[in-house]
Structure 1
Amino acid sequence: MTGDVWLPYHVDEFEKLPDGPGYRYWDGEREFPGDPADCLFYVVPYMKGPEVSRRPLSAMTSVQVVQTLTAGVDHVEPELRDARPGVRLCNARGVHEASTAELALTLILASLRGVPDFVRGQDREEWRSGFRPALADKSVLIVGYGSIGAAIEDRLIPFEVARVARVARSERTTERGPVHPLTELPRLLPEADVVVLSTPLTEATRGLAGADFLARMKDGALLVNVARGPVVDTGALLAELAGGRITAALDVTDPEPLPAGHPLWHAPGVLISPHVGGPTSAFLPRAKRLLVDQLYRFVNREPLRNVILETGR
């Protein structure tokens, strides 16, 4: 095989990569490591932003595979709309489930039990005791029931929740019960104490949690977003938070990074983490296993995993 693989990790960081392609290290630096036209397999740098991720793509005239290290592909997909037919875009399914599900549970528990208030009290040496909501006996609605949504449910079960409802683009049945289509949201939202967003960002989900969605949530409900910021209409959320009717825990925001002075920072009842669902100690070993497996499949002309789309189809 003649051609290059662009990796955001050095070759010596892997135990063994398949022979054949040339391996070039590129993690978003200004200078490219070689001619992008020679790249056959492009591994998108992690956490470098859409502009960096897309920068070499227009010159990668021979690329066959674009592999992200994220579950979502919205940061590179637009650049592939005009790509030649046959380019496969693959995501990192299997890499982020553990970390993102952990964070979703952390945000739920921290919000319900009032942990941010305890931290503020500790800063002021104030003892802030009292009754707080528990996750036990709550009804949870997971919007976006892919591998991350399923991993979140896995971690909810030991907390004795009363019920878990699942929503995805298409209706189906799982071992745990039915997965409802998005059209069922108006009926399901008023029943949920906690609503978790873990859906990909697509044209169908952009602004999904808008004014009508939020208005249908029950009084006192908690909205948790570990998906993408634009899945939530920030203006509509601010309006609901200002009235104190619902609360929110957000790992992602729109805009992002959230700029200083933005009203979301100080909105009542909101907990914000800085998009840290994926980057944990669990990321790198899983990412490297995925890349090694994908590269062996690519070199041996075997079916790739996690193909989200193929251009021209």
Structure 2
Amino acid sequence: MSAITVSVPTEELAGDVSALLDPELGIEVVRWDGQEPAPRDRFDIVVPPYMRQGRMLARLHEIDCGLVQGQAIGYEGVEERLPAGSTYANASSVHETATAELTIGLLLVAQRELDRIVRNQDRGVWDNGGMPAGLADRRIVMLGYGGVAKAIARRLEAFEVDLAPVASRARDEDGLHVHALSELDELLPGAEILINVLPGGAETHHLIDDAVLSQLPDGALVVNVGRGPTVDTDALVEHVRRGRIRVASDVFDPEPLPEGHPLWSLDGVFITPHVGGRSAAMRPRIARLIAEQAERLARGEEHVNVVIRT
């Protein structure tokens, strides 16, 4: 059996993956981040850098490559860059928990007015007035019901919310009724919170537009942990400017959000800079996934998480 070779973008990840591998399988892990020419003519598995995989994908035509193992869940725009005959797997199982954690954080910040409280702390102001909306008994419509959305739904159970997931087709799953996207117009007028967990791409581009936002009640909260372009930013800004809609978002269009953009300064907006998957849990989880893929290949088994075959 010939040795399996895997490239990863950092020495730290190389060490993490190597420590997990069965030494009897003869798997070699090499550092390559795509900044320089490939150190080998062939890699069985190539792992591009996290969130910066474009240069690596452009170099793949220079080598013979088996599987490309991404470090993110999303993969829009990847297929056009892959050489013919390539296989691409995403990082399902790595980021769902961390993104769900952040989503709960965004909800709590907005619904318990924690951003206002933190700003008061900076000024040394004690103000416990008002009655924040909170999460209990709130009606939440969630767009998407994939891995991240399911992780969010499990955590929301503890907050005693009224959750209505929405996906491409209606079904009953995990003890919830998942509504079809065609029902969205009926659901939005009663939605106090709209969570977007949809992937990017042509089918979801500007799905949350002025027409969708206009159906939400005054004071509704929009939380986006999916992809920035799923929301029409100009329409969102206009609704926030009018005081109709509040926003707590981790993703934007454009991204990074430019200096001076209205969302930085408008009331009712809380911004995190696309950090949904960034927690200490990522490093061991991505290492486990890469090691699993390498060992599967060495044993003649199918890869997991394959989303593109060119």
TM over 0.5: yes
What's the counterpart of residue 282 of structure 2?
283
What's the counterpart of residue 192 of structure 2?
193
Partner amino acid for 1:13? D
What's the counterpart of residue 31 of structure 2?
25
For 1:53 and 1:118, the matched residues in 2 are separated by 44
Quick check: 1:53–1:76 contact (8 Å CA) kept in 2? no
For 1:135 and 1:32, the matched residues in 2 are separated by 52
For 1:283 and 1:22, the matched residues in 2 are separated by 22
For 2:79 and 2:270, the matched residues in 1 are separated by 30
What's the counterpart of residue 269 of structure 2?
270
For 2:109 and 2:183, the matched residues in 1 are separated by 29
Post-superposition CA distance 1:205-264 (Å, at most 9, x none): 121111111111122110000111111111110011001111010101111111211112
What's the counterpart of residue 96 of structure 1?
95
For 1:164 and 1:249, the matched residues in 2 are separated by 18
Unaligned residue ranges in structure 2 (runs of 5+): none
Quick check: 1:196–1:225 contact (8 Å CA) kept in 2? yes
Distance change (3 Å), C-alpha of 1:32 and 1:22: farther
In structure 2, the residue corresponding to 1:185 is in which secondary structure? helix
What's the counterpart of residue 308 of structure 2?
309
For 1:77 and 1:267, the matched residues in 2 are separated by 37
Quick check: 1:193–1:222 contact (8 Å CA) kept in 2? yes
Post-superposition CA distance 1:67-118 (Å, at most 9, x none): 11111112533313xx323x22111111111110010000001011111111
For 1:58 and 1:207, the matched residues in 2 are separated by 33
2:299 matched to 1:300?
Answer: yes
Quick check: 2:21–2:27 contact (8 Å CA) kept in 1? no
Unaligned residue ranges in structure 1 (runs of 5+): none
For 2:56 and 2:117, the matched residues in 1 are separated by 39
In structure 1, the residue corresponding to 2:219 is in which secondary structure? coil
User: Greater CA deviation, 242-251 or 190-199?
Assistant: 190-199
What's the counterpart of residue 57 of structure 1?
60
2:214 matched to 1:209?
Answer: no
For 1:7 and 1:173, the matched residues in 2 are separated by 40
In structure 2, the residue corresponding to 1:56 is in which secondary structure? helix
For 1:22 and 1:282, the matched residues in 2 are separated by 24
Quick check: 2:247–2:270 contact (8 Å CA) kept in 1? yes
What's the counterpart of residue 12 of structure 1?
15
For 1:272 and 1:42, the matched residues in 2 are separated by 33
- Structure 1 residues 1-313: aligned runs within 5 Å: 1=2, 4-10=5-11, 11-14=14-17, 15-17=19-21, 19-20=25-26, 22-28=28-34, 30-35=35-40, 37-48=41-52, 50-60=53-63, 62-74=64-76, 76-80=78-82, 83-85=83-85, 87-130=86-129, 131-161=131-161, 163-311=162-310
Quick check: 1:139–1:164 contact (8 Å CA) kept in 2? yes
Query: Percent of counterpart pairs with the same letter?
Result: 39
Partner amino acid for 1:183? S
Partner amino acid for 1:7? V
For 2:15 and 2:279, the matched residues in 1 are separated by 21
Partner amino acid for 1:59? E
Partner amino acid for 2:43? C
User: Greater CA deviation, 202-211 or 172-181?
Assistant: 172-181
Quick check: 2:79–2:308 contact (8 Å CA) kept in 1? no
Distance change (3 Å), C-alpha of 1:34 and 1:258: same
Partner amino acid for 2:96? E
Post-superposition CA distance 1:134-157 (Å, at most 9, x none): 100101111111011000011101
In structure 1, the residue corresponding to 2:280 is in which secondary structure? coil
Partner amino acid for 1:199? L
For 1:159 and 1:53, the matched residues in 2 are separated by 42
Moved over 6 A (4+): none
Quick check: 2:94–2:285 contact (8 Å CA) kept in 1? yes
For 2:150 and 2:282, the matched residues in 1 are separated by 18
User: What is the Cα deviation at residue 2 of structure 1?
Assistant: 5.8
Post-superposition CA distance 1:254-275 (Å, at most 9, x none): 1111121111211221100011
For 1:21 and 1:155, the matched residues in 2 are separated by 38
User: Greater CA deviation, 167-176 or 16-25?
Assistant: 16-25
